[in-house]
Structure formats: structure tokens, C-alpha cells
Structure 1
Amino acid sequence: MKKIVKHDQDVIRQHNKQMILDIIKEKRPISRAEITKITKLSPTSVGRIVGELCEQGLVRETELSSGGVGRKAIMLDIDPQAVFSIGVDIGKKIVRFGVMEFSGKLLYELPVGHTAIETEADRTIDLIADTINRLVKEQGLDRSKLIGIGIGVPGVIDHERGVVQYSSTLGWRNVPLAAQIKERTGIDTVTDNDLKVKILAEYLCGSARGSKKTALIELGTGVGSSLIIDGEIFRGGSNSAGELGHTTLDPNGNLCECGKRGCLQTYIDESAILHEANRIVEIGDIGQLFEAARSDESWAKEIISRTSLYIGIAINNIVCMYNPDAVILSGNMVENYSDIVSLIEEQCAQVVWEPFRGGFKILASDLKERSIVIGAASLVLNNYVNQS
């Protein structure tokens, strides 16, 4: 029982520390008294946490400020370049890199063309390590301030050990990614599922800012989801929560790559939609489908309408399970063909259970292709803040 209580206390302390730091970042400069008023924590608790942040070199006292009555208050600010982190997004055909300063601003971004599934894992790891070593040198980064590398990877990830347990996108099984990147760069490395770091980015500086509980749905070459509650990523028992694409829509339906029938992704991912379209008209990509719909082609409008209905059903299931205040739609389909968002909203007005209608927002991703790099780099910063 004592261990459980201590764990709960540690979680609360880390949450309060991150909350206070986020407030200082957003409203800087700000006084301790203002932080106390916003957080409703005791002045003693605020003072203790601010003291920890100052000791870490993340927060500093600046000028005095007066509201007009009484003595002046000491204001708190951050040093944007106190520390740096590097974010990496291993995508299907591109590996994206970003250098982030402590304020959350990306100082440098670099996309590198690479199809991981067409090569051995070691070659992809070499590419990542060599690019990072080159970035550190070319950008003149102070290694003493470079606190870590964060990597977002599609698949099932053991984030505590830094192991990619399984990724069909990359063709990897049981790859100790974090350890191998650290060995090649000398920099502490963490890795996590790409959608989990993506929703962290949206929560910190994207569509989910100000949300208490947000669900994210990825629509594109695959289908996935993630959930964040009060700034904490919901992981499930094995960090696999969010495999929305393999929820069953019809037990007698389409055969999925996983071996089951009727998985949601066999109805709404890009390959499934293209397969259905090509039974009617030969097209090469999903963009042609949307162009046909805009040209009032009835077959195309029907396919997109049906796809929107299935997505609406998926949103209803998530809303009934978790009651989020926001659902973010992201991925290639949304980023490239934004028309579908309004169609999904129309379907949700019909299929979402009545008590939840109007109780949440449907939003498109603000950060788009940069979100995983931002989220992976932010994960490093969050871990650093909470390490003491």
C-alpha cells in the first residue's frame, strides 16, 4: 500500500511541476503569486516546485514588477536555450529531424528521404545516428545542453526499454532502437509510438491546447488513435492502447492483413478506399477520388460518404468509451483532402449517441507533418523536467 501511495504522490508532484512550467512558458514573465492563483496550489507548494525548476536551470528570476500596491513581486521566466532536444519521425518514406529549444520552438528541421522497409534496421539506425551527429556539428549545438533524442516510431513500442517490438510499416521486430542510437551518438535516447508523441505535440502546442481529454485519430495508409488526459498519455497495459484500426466493424467483413475479418482499417484506410474505387473506375491515388467527388461524380461521392460514415462510427465508439472534449483528425487523408472533415462532422451528427452530441469538438491537426518531430522532442523535455 505504501508503494502505491508513494507512486500516486510522485505522479501528482510531476503533474504539478509540469503544469507550473507550462504556465511560466505561456505567460512569462509571471510571479509566484499569479501561479498560485491560477493553479490553486498552496504558496508553499508553488515555491517548492519553482525552486526545483530554478535549480535545474530551467526557470530564472527576472525583473521586479508591481501591480501598483505593496512591494514589487519577483517575476519568473525561462531561458529558451537552457537545454535542447532532438526529435525524429521515422515515416514510411521520409525520416524527419528537428532541433527544439526549451521554449518548444523548432530551431531547425530536416527531412531525409528513406524507405525503411526496403532496407535492414541497422542501415536505418546508421542513417539516423549519422544525420544527428552531423546536425550537432553543423548547427554548433552545445552537447552539454543537448539533453536527449526522442524518436516517434509506427508500431508497438516498449517505451520504457526503448525497443520497437513490432512495426509492420518498417518491417522491424524487437529492435533495441534507443540503445543503438545512444551507442552511435553518445546522447540519451527515448522512443515511443508515433501517435502517442503526436498527441503530446497537439496537447502542448497544437489543436488540443486547453483540452482536458483529447482523442486523436490518424487516417491515411493505416488507422490508429491515441488519447491524452490532463497532459498524460494513455498507454494501456503494454503501451498498445489505440490500435483503432483493428477494432472489428463486421466479423464477416473484409480480410485484414492481421488475419481477422472486418477490421475498421479494411474500410477506411487509403488502400481499402482505392480498392473499392478501382472496382468502378481505374484511379491511381486517393486525390483522384476526391477530385471526382468535387466534380459531382456519384460513385466517388458515395465512396467518400460511406468512408465518412465508418469514421463517424469509430468516433462514436471512442466518445462513448472515453468522453473526450476534443477529437483531432490527422494523417494524409485529412491533411491533403480537408473536405472530408465536414463530411465526418455531418455523419457524427447522426451516428454519435445523443447524450454526447455537442459535447466535444472535431478538429483537424494544427501541426500536420511536423507533429511527430515536435512530440518526440517534447517527450525528451518532459522526461528531463520530471527526472528530479
Structure 2
Amino acid sequence: MEYILAADIGGTKLAVALFSMDGVMVSSTVKKSETEDGELLYRLFTNACDELCTEAGLERTAIKGISIGLPGIVDVDKGVAVFQNNLPWRDFPIKERLSELYSSADIKVDNDVYMAAWGEYKQRDFAEESLVYITLSTGISCCSIIGGQFVRGAGMAGEIGFGIVDDRMSSLETQVSGPAMQMKAKAAYANPEMSLHDVMDRYYANDDQAVFILSEAVRALAREVHHTLLLLDPHAIVLGGGVFNNHPRLVEAVKKELADYVQHPLFKGKERRIEPSLLKGDAGLWGAFFRFGTTRKDPVEQGNPIYYLTNEV
């Protein structure tokens, strides 16, 4: 039996899973990430990999593939972590370093949003279809896949968080990300301790200020999705990331708002192409696995739960 190690490394947590090549998640682990020391972060990751191998009774030579999702800029061809805003790696040669330990493994490194998008794409059994994955959590970004190929542009495709949303030159990220909505709530309620969780609780209770804050975000997101529909007309637009995964009501709110924008006969009803994430917080891990494998056994069949690694928002 051959095995794959899949990883989703972020500024908050580091998640690693061991998969058999036939699509079974054998085991997984989640560690608090390291944000100050690059070597400590690397050792944290390799120790987590070794931990899973030891638990499964495997030598490093049994690992035939390692697939890693990272935030920020990644040199996919060379396997270099070029720049991660919330990690202490700068031009870090992670593929080269891992090759010294796992000499039998093919190593793939990519942006974490691309990995999650690939997970959602393969989970839907897509092959020739087009899909856009939009993630909303600490930041906002997206990945487009057309005919089984990533749309990378010149290297920065999908950075929709930098999009301008008003005459004040405010960006989408400063208006609708989790921290942005939290900052608005702190100002609206004159409460520096207000969390996004508190805002969502008040939103569900139909508190006027919370409804206003979330409605602004929903409108901005719906307009971005509308632009995506007009530009690419994808078969599916998946809304994922911590905020959407933990608050599916927001997915429905964006879909409802979008319905008002697509009344033209050519586009009427296309709001139904908006879907929630199927893999939730594990999309990055499964996407990393799918870069090697092609099938996924049902978690009930595996006898294991899906491990949702969501942010607390």
C-alpha cells in the first residue's frame, strides 16, 4: 500500500493528514502553528508527518507523495514558499528540504486556496467543468478552475480581496472579511471586545446594527459573484472558508441577493449555481490529496468522521 501526506499550513493552525492512495484518510493531526521562527515551523510540520507515520507503523519510504497548501505566494514549479504574510517563511525551499527526509516522495506545493478549490472540484466529480471557489475568513480570495486546469494568470489570479468596492477606494477585503466585519461591529456597538461570533449571534437575532453590517457584506459579495458569473459563467461557484462554512445562512443570503441581479433572460436563475462547500474546513486537505489520488471513500465507509478544521468565526 502506498500513502500520501497532505498538509494545510496556516498562521493559526497546521493540519496534516495521512491518506492511503485509494482514498482513505487514515489519520490526521492539528497543531497550533508557529508564526515567528521558520525553522521551528518546519520542524513542527515534519514532526507532525513523522507522528502520523509512526502511529500507522510506516517508514518514511512508504510515503509516495507529500502535498502542501500554503497561504500567500508559492513557486509551484520549484516548491518554494516565496512569501506568506502570516508565516515566517521567505523564499523557503520546502520541497528541497522535504526531499532530504522523504526521498521516495513526489512533493507538491501550492497556494492553500488552490488546494481547497481542487478538493471541491474533485469532490463534485468535475473533469471538464468550470468552478470558482471563493473563500471568506481572515481574508478573501478565490481560485478558478476551467476544464481541470487552474487559471493562474501571471501569478496573482484570484486576489479579489484587493478589488475596489466604492468611491473611497475601499477594498473588498476591508469591507467583508471576518476582521473587517468585527471592526465595524466594535465601532457600531462602541465595544472593543466585540467578536465576529457576537456579531453573528446578533445577526441571527435580527439586531438592526448587526443586520446592517452583514447586509453590506452580503451586497458586496453578491456583486463580486455577479461579476464572476458574467466573466466566466462557471458551472459552480463555491462559497467556502471559515465564515461561510460556519454560517451557511450567509451563503443563502448571497444567493438571494444575487437573484435580484440576474433577471435578464440570459442569466435568470443562475444564482442556483452558488453552492456551499462540501468539504468545509477539510477542503484543503482533501484537495492536497486529490493532487495525487482520484477517489475518495465515503467517511462512513472509512469508519472515521470528516475532520472539520474551521476557524472560530
Shorter-chain-normalised TM-score: which range? Answer: 0.7 to 0.9
Whole-angstrom distance in 2 between the partners of 1:357 and 1:111: 43
Aligned pairs for 1:14-93 (under 5 A) are 81=1, 83-93=2-12
Who is 1:356 aligned against? 267
Asked whether the 8 Å contact 1:312–1:352 carries over to 2, the reply is no
Asked whether the 8 Å contact 1:329–1:364 carries over to 2, the reply is yes
Who is 1:156 aligned against? 73
Q: Could you report, residue by residue, the CA deviation over 1:45-81 in whole angstroms, capped at 9, with x for unpaired residues?
A: xxxxxxxxxxxxxxxxxxxxxxxxxxxxxxxxxxxx4
SS in 1 for 2:108: strand
Change (3 A) 1:364 1:108: same
Q: Could you report, residue by residue, the CA deviation over 1:295-350 in whole angstroms, capped at 9, with x for unpaired residues?
A: 22111111111110000011011111211011000011111122111111111112
Who is 1:189 aligned against? 107
**Identity over aligned residues, as a percent?**
23
Who is 1:129 aligned against? 46
Whole-angstrom distance in 2 between the partners of 1:352 and 1:287: 32
SS in 2 for 1:377: helix
For structure 2, list consecutive stretches of 5 or more residues without a partner in the other structure. Answer: 295-313
Who is 1:249 aligned against? 165
TM-score normalised according to structure 1 size: 0.70
After TM superposition, what 4+ stretches of structure 1 lie above 4 angstroms from structure 2?
142-145, 208-211
Change (3 A) 1:263 1:171: farther
2:28 is the counterpart of 1:109 = yes
Q: Could you report, residue by residue, the CA deviation over 1:135-186 in whole angstroms, capped at 9, with x for unpaired residues?
A: 2222123655421111000111111011111111214321212212222443
Rg bigger for which structure? 1
Whole-angstrom distance in 2 between the partners of 1:279 and 1:327: 32
RMSD: 2.0
Asked whether the 8 Å contact 2:185–2:194 carries over to 1, the reply is no
Whole-angstrom distance in 1 between the partners of 2:91 and 2:39: 12
SS in 1 for 2:188: coil
What amino acid is the match of 2:66? I
SS in 2 for 1:356: coil
1:212, distance to aligned residue in structure 2 (A): 0.8
Who is 1:180 aligned against? 97
What amino acid is the match of 1:95? L
Change (3 A) 1:357 1:265: farther
Who is 1:367 aligned against? 279
Asked whether the 8 Å contact 2:127–2:148 carries over to 1, the reply is no
Whole-angstrom distance in 2 between the partners of 1:343 and 1:102: 38
Asked whether the 8 Å contact 1:329–1:363 carries over to 2, the reply is yes
Answer with 146-155 or 208-217: which moved more. 208-217
1:231, distance to aligned residue in structure 2 (A): 2.1
Asked whether the 8 Å contact 1:100–1:107 carries over to 2, the reply is yes
Residue of 237, 257, 270 corresponding to 1:347 = 257
Whole-angstrom distance in 2 between the partners of 1:233 and 1:120: 32
1:353, distance to aligned residue in structure 2 (A): 7.1
